C-alpha cells in the first residue's frame, strides 16, 4: 500500500506520532541504574604524557588511559611546540595504535619476494638471520654492501642506528626526506656555507611572500604553522601583516592570504628573479647590507638585468609585468620583507633566497635567522672514531636506484629500511621498486606491510610510540630548542620490539668496533646515559621537556662561509628554456599535499580520509582539480571519472571543477593510491607519483611539479 504524503496527511501522521510518543502510560518502564549503564567501569583512569612522532614537529600529547586502554588524546598544555593542541594527524594517533592491520610479530618471506607468503618467526630467529647476513659481509670485508635508509626524525634510536652503520664501515647511510615539506636547505647551504640552524622568523613577519610553499598545510610543524598564522592575523591589531601566496592553485594558504598570485607551476623562481631585476634596476635593494655582507653581487646583478626582465618573466610565468613591478616595490617598502619557499629545484630555492639577501632580510627579526638550538640535542655518550668512510654509492638518495640498476650485480647486498616507504613515496619513474628487487636481502623495520616492506625478506614491527620510551628534539618557530621525553603510555599490545634494542643486540652479537661503540644493553640505558649528560633524568623518567633560548637576531651567526659573507650564486640561476616538450600533453600537473596527508603519509588512518578533500567534499578517493572553463573545453563534467595521463603513465581520478585552479593546470593530491598498507589505504584512490616524470635537480631533489599531462574521460 502506498501512502501519499501530502501536507495535510503529513500533519495527520505527525500528530499521530506525537500522540504516540506522548502516551501517558507505558506497558513497561525501565530506568537504568548506574550499575547497568553501558559505560565501562572506571577501575583506573589516568592522563599520561606522550610524544607524537607522526611528523618532525614532535608535539607532546596527553593520553587518557581508562582501564588500561588509550581512549582519548589532547595536546599537552604548556609544551612549547604543541601548546595544548595537535593537528588532525596527531588526532588520529589512536587509530594508528589500534589499527587492525598493524603488524603483530616479525615476518619472514616464504615464497618469492613480493609474493605475499609470510611466515611468523620469533625475534630470536629474525635477529639470527640479520646477524648472519651482516657477519658474512664483515667476513668478506665488504661492509659497504650494507645500506641503511632511515626515517628523518632525530632521536637516540636514530643515533644508535647511524652509529651502527658508521662503525660497521658502510658509507651508505641515508636519511629520507619528505616531499614538498622542507625549507630550502640546499640554497641555505650554498649561500650561507651551512644550512644548520637557519629558519624563517615566520610568525613575526611584516610582509610574508611565499613562493610556492603551501606552508599552512605542509610546514614541518603544521601545529605551529597554524599558530603562526593566527599570530600574524590577530596578535598585532595595530598593524596588519601582509601575506602573499604565489602558487598555481588556490590552496589553503592562498585562500587565507591577502593576495594570491596565480603562476605556472615550477616558475616561482623565475618570478623571484623578475622581482630581483626590478629591485636592482630601480635601486630598491638594501645597498648597505649587500656591500657589507654579501659576495658575488656584481655577477648576480649583470645576470638578472640581462636575463630576467619583467617582460621575459611575465611570458614564462603568466604573472603580468605590472604585478612583478608592484611586488618588488612592495617588498622594498615594507621592511624586512620575508621571501619563503620550499625545498624544490635549486633554481627556485636560490632565486627566492636571493631576494632575502637583496632586501637585507637576513639576521634580523622578521627575516631569516639562525639558531644554535641543535647543540642542545641529546647525544649518545661514549665518543667513537671510525675509519674515514669511502664515498657512498650515489651522491644523493634518489640517485641510489639508478646506481643499483646500472650494475650487473647489485653493489648493495643487505638493505635495511627504517619506517620509510620509498616505493610509494617517490615518483614511480625513480625505480625504487626495480632497484629493491635487485638487492639480495632486505630487512624493513615497519609497523605495516607497506609497498616497500612487501618487497622485503624480513619485516620487523617496532613498538608504537605510545608503547615505548620516547625522546625527541624539535625546534619551535622561534628557533627554540626543545627536548621532550615520554615514558611508555601502555605495555606493547603485540609481539613487537624496540627498534633501538634490536640494533644494540645486533651490535653486541657482531662484536668488534660496532659493539664497543654501542655498549648499552638496552635503548633505555642509552637514553638514561644521554639524559644524565644533559641533567635531564627527571624529565626522562616522568615525562616532560626542556626548552632552550630562542634565536637572537644576528647576521654573523647566519654566515658560515669562509669569507663570512653571503654568496650570491649565478651558477644555479642560469636561464633555462621554458619549453613545452610535449605538444600532446597540454596541461601542467601540480601536486599538492592536503594537511590530512602532510608529508604524503596518513592514508592508512580512516579519520584522515574524511578531512582530505574537505574544500570539495571529497574523501576516500583521488580527485583531480580542473578549472570549470578548462573542463568545459575538454567536455569533462564535474564528478566524472577521467584519466590523467603523462608521458610516464596514466591514473584514474574523479574530475572536480574548481575555480581555484589555473586553466592551464590540473592538480592531484599526494598521499592516496596505496597498493598495500592495510585495509583503509590499499586500493583507495591513485597516486600522482605514478605519473610524475623522473626529473632530478643537481641538488638531488625530486622535481614534483615538472610534469605535463592530458585529461580525458574514462
| Contacting positions for ligand SF4 (CB under 6 A) | 52, 54-55, 57-59, 86-87, 89-90, 221-223
Q: Which is nearer to ligand SF4, 59 or 340 (CB)?
A: 59
CB of 474 to ligand SF4, least distance (A): 8
Nearer to ligand SF4, 55 or 339 (CB): 55
Decide whether 55 or 355 has the Cβ nearer to ligand SF4. 55
Q: For residues 510 and 135, is the Cβ–Cβ distance under 8 A?
A: yes
> Residue 231 Cβ, how far from ligand SF4 at the closest point, in Å?
16
Residue nearest to ligand SF4 as judged by C-beta position: 90
CB of 604 to ligand SF4, least distance (A): 14
Question: Could you tell me the strand order of the sheet in which 414-418 lies?
Answer: 118-120, 107-109, 458-460, 441-445, 414-418, 146-150, 173-175
Are 247 and 263 in contact, with CB atoms under 8 Å apart? yes
Q: What's the DSSP call for residue 361?
A: -
Cβ distance to ligand SF4 smaller for residue 90 or 274: 90
Q: How far is CA 259 from CA 251, 256, 323, in A?
A: 12, 8, 11
Q: In this complex, which beta carbon is closest to ligand SF4, that of residue 354 or of residue 598?
A: 598
The answer to whether 668 and 652 have CB atoms below 8 angstroms apart is no
Q: For the chain, how long is the longest CA-to-CA vector?
A: 95
Q: Nine-digit cell at 654?
A: 574523479
- How far apart are the C-alpha atoms of 288 and 336, rounded to whole Å? 14
CB of 82 to ligand SF4, least distance (A): 6
Q: Whole-angstrom Cα distance, residue 344 to residue 418? A: 24
In the complex, least distance from residue 90 CB atom to ligand SF4, rounded to whole angstroms = 2
| DSSP single-letter state for residue 154 | -
Whichever of 93 and 439 has its CB closer to ligand SF4, that residue is 93
Query: Toward ligand SF4, which CB reaches closer, 223 or 684?
Result: 223
In residues, how long is the chain?
A: 714
Do 187 and 209 form a contact (C-beta atoms < 8 A)? no
190 phi/psi in degrees, rounded to 5: -70, -40
Q: Which is nearer to ligand SF4, 181 or 332 (CB)?
A: 181
Q: CB 135: neighbour CB atoms within 10 A?
A: 13
Helical H segments across 260-388, by residue range: 268-281, 287-293, 297-307, 310-317, 321-333, 346-358
User: What is the closest distance, in whole angstroms, from the C-beta atom of residue 220 to ligand SF4 in the complex?
Assistant: 8
Find where cell 600532446 sits: 584
Nearer to ligand SF4 among residue 214 and residue 697 (C-beta):
214
Q: How far is the CB of 454 from ligand SF4 (least distance, A)?
A: 25
Spatial contact of 670 and 702, defined as CB atoms under 8 Å apart: no
Nearest approach, Cβ of residue 682 and ligand SF4 (Å): 22
Task: Find the shortest distance in angstroms from Cβ 58 to ligand SF4.
Answer: 5
Minimal CA–CA distance to 449: which of 424, 427, 471? 424
d(CA 471, CA 488): 11
* β-strands 665-669, 587-592 pairing: parallel
Positive/negative CA dihedral, 101, 107, 109, 114: positive
- Residue 227 Cβ, how far from ligand SF4 at the closest point, in Å? 10
Are the C-beta atoms of residues 656 and 625 closer than 8 Å to each other?
yes
Q: Of 223 and 313, which CB lies nearer to ligand SF4 in the complex structure?
A: 223
Kind plus residue range of the DSSP H or E element containing 75: strand 69-75
Helices (H) and strands (E) in the chain, counts: 24, 27
Q: Which H or E run includes 623? A: strand 623-626
- Alpha carbons within 13 A on the beta-carbon side of 536: 24
Q: Which is nearer to ligand SF4, 164 or 599 (CB)?
A: 599
Which residue, 222 or 500, is less far from ligand SF4 as judged by CB? Answer: 222
Contacts of 642 (CB under 8 A, 6+ apart): 624, 636, 652, 653, 654, 655, 711, 712, 713, 714
| Minimum CB distance to ligand SF4 smaller for 222 or for 544 | 222
Q: How far is the CB of 93 from ligand SF4 (least distance, A)?
A: 7
Q: Residue 607 Cβ, how far from ligand SF4 at the closest point, in Å?
A: 12
Element holding 527 (H helix, E strand): helix 523-533
With CA atoms as reference, report the closest residue to 673 among 650, 654, 651, 694: 651
- 89 or 158: CB nearest ligand SF4: 89
Using the minimum distance from each CB to ligand SF4, give the nearer residue, 52 or 689. Answer: 52
Min dist CB 80 to ligand SF4, Å, is: 12
- Nearest distance, CB of residue 223 and ligand SF4, angstroms: 4
Crossing angle between the packed helical segments 123-139 and 499-510, to the nearest 10 degrees:
50
| H or E element, residue 38 | none
* Lookup: cell for 239: 598593524
Q: Least separation, in Å, of the C-beta of 89 and ligand SF4?
A: 4
Amino acid at each position: 500500500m502506498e501512502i501519499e504524503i501530502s501536507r495535510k496527511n503529513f500533519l495527520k501522521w505527525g500528530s499521530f506520532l506525537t500522540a504516540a510518543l506522548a502516551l501517558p502510560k507505558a506497558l513497561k518502564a525501565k530506568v537504568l541504574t548506574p550499575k547497568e549503564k553501558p559505560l565501562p567501569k572506571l577501575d583506573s583512569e589516568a592522563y599520561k604524557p606522550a610524544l607524537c612522532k607522526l611528523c618532525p614537529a614532535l608535539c607532546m600529547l596527553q593520553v587518557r588511559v581508562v582501564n588500561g586502554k588509550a581512549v582519548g588524546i589532547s595536546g599537552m598544555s604548556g609544551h612549547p611546540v604543541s601548546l595544548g593542541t595537535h593537528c588532525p594527524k596527531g588526532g588520529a594517533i589512536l587509530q594508528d595504535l589500534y589499527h587492525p592491520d598493524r603488524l603483530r610479530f616479525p615476518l619472514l618471506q616464504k615464497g618469492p619476494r613480493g609474493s605475499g607468503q609470510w611466515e611468523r618467526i620469533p625475534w630470536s630467529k629474525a635477529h639470527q638471520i640479520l646477524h648472519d647476513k651482516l657477519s658474512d659481509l664483515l667476513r668478506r670485508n665488504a661492509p659497504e654492501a650494507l645500506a641503511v635508509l632511515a626515517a628523518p626524525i632525530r632521536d637516540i634510536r636514530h643515533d644508535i642506528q647511524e652509529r651502527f652503520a658508521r662503525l660497521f664501515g658502510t658509507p651508505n647511510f641515508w636519511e629520507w626526506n619528505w616531499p614538498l615539506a622542507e625549507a630550502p636547505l640546499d640554497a641555505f647551504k650554498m649561500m650561507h656555507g651551512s644550512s644548520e640552524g637557519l629558519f624563517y622568523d615566520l610568525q613575526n613577519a611584516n610582509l610574508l611572500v611565499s613562493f610556492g610553499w603551501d606552508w599552512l598545510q605542509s610546514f614541518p610543524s603544521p601545529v605551529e604553522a597554524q599558530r603562526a598564522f593566527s599570530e600574524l592575523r590577530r596578535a598585532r591589531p595595530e598593524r596588519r601583516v601582509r601575506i602573499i601566496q604565489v602558487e598555481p592553485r588556490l590552496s589553503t594558504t592562498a585562500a587565507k592570504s591577502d593576495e594570491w598570485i596565480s603562476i605556472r607551476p615550477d616558475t616561482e623562481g623565475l618570478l623571484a628573479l623578475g622581482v630581483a631585476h626590478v629591485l636592482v634596476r630601480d635601486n630598491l635593494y638594501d645597498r648597505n647590507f649587500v656591500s657589507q655582507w654579501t659576495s658575488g653581487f656584481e655577477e648576480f646583478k649583470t645576470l638578472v638585468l640581462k636575463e630576467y626582465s619583467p617582460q621575459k618573466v611575465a611570458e614564462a610565468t603568466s604573472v603580468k609585468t605590472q604585478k612583478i613591478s608592484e611586488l618588488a616595490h612592495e617588498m622594498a617598502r615594507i621592511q624586512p620583507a620575508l621571501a619563503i619557499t620550499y625545498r624544490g629545484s635549486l633554481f627556485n630555492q636560490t632565486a627566492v633566497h636571493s631576494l632575502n639577501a637583496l632586501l637585507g632580510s637576513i639576521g634580523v627579526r622578521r627575516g631569516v635567522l639562525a639558531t644554535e638550538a641543535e647543540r642542545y640535542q641529546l647525544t649518545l655518550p661514549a665518543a667513537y672514531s671510525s675509519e674515514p668512510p669511502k664515498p657512498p654509492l650515489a651522491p644523493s638518495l634518489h640517485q641510489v636506484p639508478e646506481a643499483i640498476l646500472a650494475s650487473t650485480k647489485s653493489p648493495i647486498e643487505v638493505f635495511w629500511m627504517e619506517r620509510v616507504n620509498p616505493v610509494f613515496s617517490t615518483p614511480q619513474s625513480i625505480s625504487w621498486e626495480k632497484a629493491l628487487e635487485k638487492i639480495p636481502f632486505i630487512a624493513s623495520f615497519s609497523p605495516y606491510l607497506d609497498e616497500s616492506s612487501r618487497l622485503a625478506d624480513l619485516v620487523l614491527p617496532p613498538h608504537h610510540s605510545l608503547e615505548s620510551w620516547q625522546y625527541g628534539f624539535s625546534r619551535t618557530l622561534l628557533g627554540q630548542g626543545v627536548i621532550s621525553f615520554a615514558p611508555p603510555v601502555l605495555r606493547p599490545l603485540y609481539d613487537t620490539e624496540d627498534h633501538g634494542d634490536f640494533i644494540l643486540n645486533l651490535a653486541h652479537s657482531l662484536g668488534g668496533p660496532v659493539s664497543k661503540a654501542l655498549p648499552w644493553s638496552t635503548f633505555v640505558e642509552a637514553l638514561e646515559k644521554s639524559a644524565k649528560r644533559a641533567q635531564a633524568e627527571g624529565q626522562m623518567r616522568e615525562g616532560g621537556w626542556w626548552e632552550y633560548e630562542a634565536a637572537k637576531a644576528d647576521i654573523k651567526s647566519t654566515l658560515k662561509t669562509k669569507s663570512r659573507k653571503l654568496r650570491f650564486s649565478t651558477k644555479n640561476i642560469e636561464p633555462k628554456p621554458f619549453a613545452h616538450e610535449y605538444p600532446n600533453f597540454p596541461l601542467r600537473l601540480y601536486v599538492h599535499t592536503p594537511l590530512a596527508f602532510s608529508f604524503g603519509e596518513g592514508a592508512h588512518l580512516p579519520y584522515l580520509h574524511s578531512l582530505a578533500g574537505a574544500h570539495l567534499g571529497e574523501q576516500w578517493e583521488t580527485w583531480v582539480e580542473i578549472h570549470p572553463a578548462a573542463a568545459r573545453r575538454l567536455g569533462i563534467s564535474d564528478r566524472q571519472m577521467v584519466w590523467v595521463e603523462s608521458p610516464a603513465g596514466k591514473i584514474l581520478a574523479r574530475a572536480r571543477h574548481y575555480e581555484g585552479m589555473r586553466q592551464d593546470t590540473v592538480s592531484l593530491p599526494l598521499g592516496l593510491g596505496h597498493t598495500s598498507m592495510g585495509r583503509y589505504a590499499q586500493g583507495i584512490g591513485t597516486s600522482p607519483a605514478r605519473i610524475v616524470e623522473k626529473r632530478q635537480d643537481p641538488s638531488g631533489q625530486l622535481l614534483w611539479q615538472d610534469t605535463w599531462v592530458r585529461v580525458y574521460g574514462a
